């Protein structure tokens, strides 16, 4: 059972920031090479899900881990409030249309899990509906894996409440970060404990396991995610297509 209060939000002691950043660049380059081969082969795909509280580093992780990837085989989607059309369909409708095709790497910044997180925190759904949606999410991810050879890799950016406060305030104090400021982030922060409960429910009822990423130190956060992504792509054992000699 995952209990977030028992997991550190900081980098492990003994990690060297300078060396870790250097290693990150090597990992990012390797990810780019592996993604290129996956795209060229066109047989498997990878869906990376980045979840976390506001200011936990989802955008920063995307920028630092995937910058060496071939853009033609890389897609990113940031989940926001559903549109009127999306609201008129089932909650997974928009997600399925965004799932990666064979050969592609897709990054969900937030995801279908929002529909059992924010919806539950604000009492827009009850426990019965949350449980039914959780079963649908597991079935959806199972379908992606076994019907379309899409591996689903899930990360939770585990930031402390104190570090989130510092980063949200920075968006007010630093003119270069004003564009990130959103009053709604402060309102959602007031529901911190409810969000932790909601996330723990998702983690502990997911059939595909989650990776809990210590996110207070962004240099370690990026390294952690990059290492897992590289390991996953390596496990695909993709090969560049060759021309058969006649």
The closest alpha carbon to 36, from 95, 83, 104, belongs to 104
What pLDDT is attached to residue 186?
A: 92
User: How far, in Å, CA of 206 to CA of 45, rounded?
Assistant: 20
175/90 Cα distance (integer angstroms) = 40
State residue 111's pLDDT score. Answer: 97
Q: Identify the sign of the CA torsion 51, 57, 58, 61.
A: negative
Q: What is the pLDDT along the chain (246 residues), one digit of tens a residue?
A: 999 999 999 999 999 999 999 999 999 999 999 999 999 999 999 999 999 999 999 999 999 999 999 999 999 999 998 999 999 999 999 999 999 999 999 999 999 999 999 999 999 999 999 999 999 999 999 999 999 999 999 999 999 999 999 999 999 998 889 998 988 899 899 999 999 999 999 999 999 999 999 999 999 999 999 999 999 999 999 999 998 877
pLDDT of residue 209: 97
- Looking at residue 227, its pLDDT comes to 98
**What CATH fold (topology level) applies to the domain 16-236?**
Rossmann fold (3.40.50)
Q: Which residues contact 211 (CB under 8 A, 6 or more apart)?
A: 153, 154, 155, 156, 224, 225, 228
Query: What is the Cα–Cα distance from 120 to 198, expressed in whole angstroms?
Result: 7
Q: What is the pLDDT of residue 244?
A: 83
Please name the residue ranges forming H helices in 102-217: 114-121, 127-148, 161-173, 183-189, 192-205
pTM of the model: 0.95
Q: Order across the sheet with 105-109: list the strands.
A: 74-78, 105-109, 45-52, 150-158, 210-214
**Helix, strand or coil, per DSSP, at residue 216:** coil
Q: What is the pLDDT of residue 245?
A: 79
């Amino acid at each position: 059972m995952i209990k977030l209060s028992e997991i550190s939000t900081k980098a492990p002691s003994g990690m060297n920031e300078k060396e870790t950043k250097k290693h990150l660049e090597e990992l990012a380059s390797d990810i780019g090479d592996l993604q290129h081969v996956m795209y060229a082969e066109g047989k498997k795909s990878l869906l990376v899900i980045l979840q976390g509280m506001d200011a936990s580093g989802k955008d920063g992780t995307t920028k630092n881990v995937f910058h060496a990837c071939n853009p033609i085989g890389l897609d990113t989607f940031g989940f926001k409030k559903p549109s009127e059309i999306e609201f008129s369909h089932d909650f997974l409708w928009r997600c399925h249309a965004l799932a990666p095709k064979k050969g592609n790497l897709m990054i969900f910044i937030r995801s279908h899990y929002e529909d059992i997180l924010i919806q539950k925190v604000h009492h827009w759904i009850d426990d019965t509906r949350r449980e039914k949606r959780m079963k649908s999410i597991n079935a959806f991810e199972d379908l992606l894996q076994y019907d379309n050879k899409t591996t689903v890799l899930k990360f939770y950016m585990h930031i402390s409440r104190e570090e989130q406060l510092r980063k949200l305030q920075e968006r007010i104090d630093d003119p270069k970060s004003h564009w990130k400021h959103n009053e709604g982030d402060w309102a959602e922060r007031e529901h911190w404990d409810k969000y932790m409960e909601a996330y723990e429910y998702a983690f502990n009822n997911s059939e595909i396991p989650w990776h809990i990423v210590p996110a207070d130190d962004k240099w370690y956060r990026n390294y952690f995610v990059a290492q897992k992504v590289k390991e996953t792509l390596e496990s695909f054992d993709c090969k560049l297509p060759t021309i058969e000699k006649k």
